[in-house]
């Protein structure tokens, strides 16, 4: 149970304190329950969270290894003959793939809109009347748990795009060079 730092009111599932109207700032540490104080549903949510993390790691690894295979083929088909460079091993190419993904993730973090989202959320919370706040909080909770696109569909889509580029590169290498 989380208390408002200003007035002490329970704000466990609130975006804004209903009494003093201060914004409740939740961090990832606020969502970690204490062992022994959890309901069976909390355990289920944690296990679902671990399943999602495991799925994301497995999907990222699969996509990364497949993209490395494609990049290695592109390297062998195009770069070696054009620039007269040596061949690379699979894991050297995987290392280059990881470095580029890391750099692109840093760029996304640097140019993210998190601060704008926080300001917009704050302004929206201030606009909700007191009698509608409970309904708004329950709607936000439903939207937070609702899954719009299945993550497996996103993985299949990304693998299909990688396959398209592999086939296009093979056609260029085999028939046009």
pLDDT digits (tens, 9 = 90+) for 3-31: 776 777 776 655 566 777 665 554 444 44
Residue ranges per structural domain of the chain: 56-112+147-176
**Could you tell me the pLDDT band of residue 72, with boundaries at 50, 70 and 90?**
very high
CB atoms within 10 A of CB 80: 13
pLDDT the model gives residue 166 = 94
Q: Kindly report, residue by residue over 93-115, the tens digit of the pLDDT.
A: 999 999 998 888 777 766 665 55
Model pLDDT for residues 36-70, shown as the tens digit of each residue: 445 556 656 665 667 777 777 888 899 999 999 99
Residue 32 pLDDT exceeds 70: no
Residue 117 banded pLDDT, cuts 50, 70, 90: low
């Amino acid at each position: 149970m989380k208390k408002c730092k200003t007035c002490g009111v329970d704000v466990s599932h609130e975006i804004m304190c209903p009494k003093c109207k201060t914004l409740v700032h939740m961090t990832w540490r606020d969502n970690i329950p204490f062992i022994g104080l959890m309901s069976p549903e909390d355990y289920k949510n944690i296990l679902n969270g671990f399943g999602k993390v495991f799925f994301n790691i497995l999907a990222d690894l699969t996509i990364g290894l497949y993209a490395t295979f494609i990049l290695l083929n592109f390297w062998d088909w195009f770069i070696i003959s054009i620039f007269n460079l040596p061949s690379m091993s699979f894991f050297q190419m995987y290392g280059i793939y990881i470095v580029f993904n890391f750099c692109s993730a840093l760029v996304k973090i640097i140019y993210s809109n998190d601060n704008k989202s926080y300001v917009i959320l704050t302004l929206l919370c201030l606009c909700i009347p007191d009698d509608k706040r409970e309904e708004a909080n329950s709607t936000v909770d439903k939207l937070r748990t609702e899954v719009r696109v299945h993550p497996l569909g996103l993985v299949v889509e990304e693998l299909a795009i990688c396959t398209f580029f592999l086939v296009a590169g093979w056609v260029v290498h085999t028939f046009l060079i």
